[in-house]
Structure 1
């Protein structure tokens, strides 16, 4: 081996912006294109809004304006405004900020002085303007470099800070902001900050009842078993109820940060609920029966919180503060007093809760035998599961690429074969379905164990007992873009929404986009995902290029498929806009065939080039039926 020259010249020091741009994952987690709720572009937005929230918490400014397009973000608050002499330093010097005075910001999330600087370094254009005491200061940056420094001048604008930024497309490839993800983030802000108004693209967001409003928005209110229990104390707020759905659903927060992966506070809550309810009813119920179908939100405030990553999605703190009790003791003591008191004062709620627990107990015992048999079969199958081609890393691993772990659910051997040959064996697994899965709407969870494919799928994902052991961060449904493929897609989504809705609500399920056309000449090949892209490609290549229409995934060669599931993979996230899952499934997957048929007749559009044809004229009624 040739000798490597190791000298003073080998040592290199990176400045702040170079380091952030070289290692962005250290600061904002995964990059992504915006198709997942935890992609980096949303972390950038959150870093900016967090500063405005801190101003509100300090009593300065009750309104925040957020405006967004596919690629640009503007945030304007009406707080005190950054001190004009420190505007540039606050967005471009690491470890510079106003949160190091623990008296002013004892329970703030962002105490490292990095957040806004990361946004600056990872944006092609970043503008900051502070308004303070009838004077203003503006500075503009490009990829962290100061390119415009305007002198202070007079203004009539209200105090506050305005920031505009464009995430860098060389880092966030093919990105776009999805409004639903941003709306969810903003709803969480207002639920956690009563009295705060956020205007997002002209829509007003406001909450009067905190976490109670959160559950009313996110839970299937039409199917809850009793009115939402809402408990508040110093540095803690809890809302909970039980529904009809399978699984457990939690929304947990620390100092206003949505801890999507839970942590010590969520674990303590799950434990404390079981303990309190057992003591109240004086019965040793199974913990799974108590927590089955629970929907709960918990928000606590912690002094100097410790998170397990820079993106702060999982709390690691064991204590409330340097001299305070443990998180576990704090939450347990609160529930032991407040929840117990509430149940004593509200016997109707206590009775409804007891009936829900007893129903869960009956359901668990009813399927115990078949569950045991199915699990034994799955255990044997897992030794050589022909349906699953696994990868080496999994979501529960402590590895920097755990966020990339993906399970593709495919139909048929040809499609799964193409993906298997072209996948990244480190992070991408493939689960192959045989034909159309069962429509499981309205069925009990017993069918998950009776149906071999469903049972093997839940074991492949390891979600039988909740999301704690989820093996893949991304569950990608990869079916053909034809009518049969769409039908299979709906059947798979029905499976998740019926039995494991928390997998969908937590943002883990997506649809794989694959190209509909390949347009090429001797010099260039362009893959197109829509008719518009096809027309643009034809215009670009000119002179009658060769056009191939892909009818199924199996037609795409493994070499080509590798292009569509790599760094430029396009995913459509499955986003629930309606909390009434039961009603949603009943309409689309129930037995109301005439209603759906009429909906198709009224709404179908047949596109032919640039023309839209009335389906009642173009399609015979017998074919529509």
Structure 2
């Protein structure tokens, strides 16, 4: 049989993307993503060019407009992009700037010709965003002229249009719409613009950023301006209640990343204070927010830990054999904003979320160590406060870790827990996909459920009495409640602790869950409702993922048993009772409220509550659980006035169920 022919892989098989396709077919290479994040980055590339102009002293205002059709406009009042004919290159500058990926005004090495500290460094941004746009309209004012350009999906339309104008103000206005053929999502939220512009205002003091957001009613305007940059911002974060006042340090250095690499300049500035109420650390380089930090963050961590640790040692504040502090202990009380600039920058990638310059790290580390040493000598009271708070953080962290490990040990267990959890009755199968745990009300219900269940896959744990109203208490008090810890042990998945103060107690692991269904089974009366509410609230507070993933159910108990000579009907609602009576017609019957679970015969228990073919299980949704939790707070919490109001408005619904003789 002849071999199947395959296409030849030869010299003509290699092809290169050309023109706009270099971006349009591989946006992730340039922008880091072909999704919304990449689209956001393309917008920032245009904005960064305007910021560079303003920071060089050309214009102090930038207007950003977010249109409802997802187009964006950035207008600055700088010198205006040069777009006319370039004699040296033999081409129009607009072709170089908008259609060449590595061209721009930031590569020049001649003094006075280049941006010294540039955010848009590599010449990719403007061209790449143009290539990735459905359209781009450009207006440039300079030299007494207005220059207009239009691009559609990477192609220029009608060349460069020039006209004389009387307008004295120079500047550049670019409006474009990111292309849905390039990005999967182009709906950049207003919140993203607000966040970016606030950050840029922080690190570019004195530059006014105006956000215009188009709505059905017109344009909303919002302004971002920090006259004193990172100092104003650090004070804003810290508020009025700080441990130490904001310090502002700055310096300039020259150096190189390696002996054979060129020398470059670095400007360092840092504003920080210590607080026992808030914590926040942010790093910026050449105006770009370093989400992943890099060199400046590494320098801050090492310098602050080294100098504070040295002070604590010299002051004799460590206890005998006590471990040294970590940056986590420092960071937990630190408000710090770092803004650096350099004439050469090594970014981790085009998205500029971290820098890797060795010299920037070295310069900043040395600078901070020196400044902190002087600060501690000149401000001994501040130094003592800082040391004391950092030690408090360290010891709290270590105690919390010890508590977490003890709790994890306490809540852990093997499948054979009969001797460890009082009155827990396990099932035989080890197949987690089949196992069901019934959380039942009291010992009497335990008896009837135990006899009525299918012991192959149904297990039971009784709630002895009521879960105390400790779910509003601190976590360490909650876990002293035996009922709660027994249930958590039996579930096997640990707990989720959401509060920042106690997050170390969190030990949740869904893979540890031993059950396919967690069924809450209580009587259909007021007491049963209250116990159900408490159990649900406990699960909502301590293991919300079980509810979100659909593991938690309520076993619905019938309200009425209607018995005839031949058949017993179970009615779970008033309307079902009416339907049953209609079916019976004029025949004889007896009707009674359904007995409590503990009074049911085993076969009745199986039929109404445990048989997968006949039982009714209600899957608990997150919204139901939240409403239950809020009801728990209302009925059992501190809001006495709200509780009285609820009872006054709704109490009549429960009179029939109340035990009033």
TM-score using structure 2 length: 0.56
Tell me the equivalent position of 2:598.
Answer: none
Quote the residue 1:270 is aligned against: 301
Deviation track 1:136-194 (CA, whole Å, cap 9, x = no partner) reads 11111112111233421112331111111111123333432211221111111111111
Distance 1:125 1:233 in 2: 43
Secondary structure, aligned partner of 2:372: helix
1:39-58 matches, within 5 Å, as 39-58=37-56
Partner of 1:100 in structure 2?
107
- In the TM superposition, 1:184-583 aligns within 5 A as 184-201=195-212, 202-217=221-236, 219=237, 221=239, 224-234=242-252, 235-244=267-276, 249-281=280-312, 282=314, 285-287=324-326, 288-320=328-360, 327=361, 329-373=362-406, 443=474
Deviations 1:519-543 (A, max 9, x none): xxxxxxxxxxxxxxxxxxxxxxxxx
1:22 and 2:20 are equivalent in the alignment:
no
Against the structure 1 CA distance between its residues 139 and 107, is the aligned structure 2 distance closer, same or farther, given a 3 Å change threshold?
A: same
Distance 1:107 1:277, change over 3 A: same
| Matched residue SS, 1:319 | helix
Classify the secondary structure of the residue corresponding to 2:64.
Answer: strand
CA RMSD in angstroms, aligned pairs only: 4.4
Q: Report the alpha carbon displacement of residue 366 of structure 1 after superposing the two structures with TM.
A: 2.7
**Separation of aligned partners in 2, 1:493 and 1:69:** 44
Distance in 2 (alpha carbons) for counterparts of 1:123 and 1:342: 51
CA shift in 2, pair 1:380/1:237, >3 Å? farther
8 Å CA contact 1:140, 1:146 repeated in 2: yes
Post-superposition offset of 1:367: 2.6
Q: CA deviation at 1:243?
A: 3.7
Q: Aligned to 1:4, which of 2, 7, 19?
A: 7
Helix, strand or coil at the partner of 2:358: coil
Structure 2 equivalent of residue 576 of structure 1:
none
Q: Secondary structure at the match of 1:151?
A: strand
Give, in angstroms, the shift of residue 117 of structure 1.
1.1
Determine the C-alpha separation between the residues in 2 that align with 1:370 and 1:113: 54
Does structure 1 residue 162 correspond to structure 2 residue 160? no
- In structure 2, the CA distance between the partners of 1:231 and 1:593, relative to structure 1 (3 Å rule), is farther
Aligned to 2:522: none
Counterparts of 2:477 and 2:337, CA distance in 1: 29
> For residues 410 and 338 of structure 2, what CA distance do their matches in structure 1 show?
38
Question: How far 1:344 moved relative to its partner?
Answer: 3.3
CA contact (8 A) 1:253 1:259 kept: yes
Taking the aligned partners of 2:355 and 2:172, their CA distance within structure 1 comes to 30
Do the aligned partners of residues 151 and 445 (structure 1) sit closer, same or farther apart at CA in structure 2, a change above 3 Å counting?
farther
Residue 190 to residue 18, structure 1, CA distance change in 2 (3 Å):
same
Task: Render the CA deviation track for 1:431-473: whole Å, top value 9, x for unaligned.
Answer: xxxxxxx999985799899988676789xxxx979xxxxxxxx
Unaligned runs of 5+ in 2: 85-92, 213-220, 253-266, 319-323, 415-435, 437-468, 506-532, 550-617, 623-632, 652-661
Asked if the contact 2:269–2:339 (Cα under 8 Å) also holds between the matched residues in 1, the reply is yes
TM-score when normalising by structure 1: 0.59
Which one has more relative contact order, counting CA pairs under 8 Å at least 6 apart? 1
Cα-to-partner distance string for 1:243-264 (whole Å, 9 max, x where unaligned):
4469x64211111111101112
| Alpha-carbon separation, structure 1, partners of 2:231 and 2:22 | 42
Q: Secondary structure at the match of 2:186?
A: coil
1:332-381 Cα offsets, whole Å, 9 max, x none, are: 22112223323333344333323312321331343343234457799999
- CA displacement 1:293-327 (0-9 Å, x = unmatched): 3232212223321111111111122123xxxxxx1
Q: Is 1:89 aligned with 2:96?
A: yes
**Structure 1 residue 226: deviation in Å?**
3.2
CA–CA distance in structure 2, aligned partners of residues 444 and 267 of structure 1: 34
Q: 2:141 aligns with which of 106, 131, 135?
A: 131
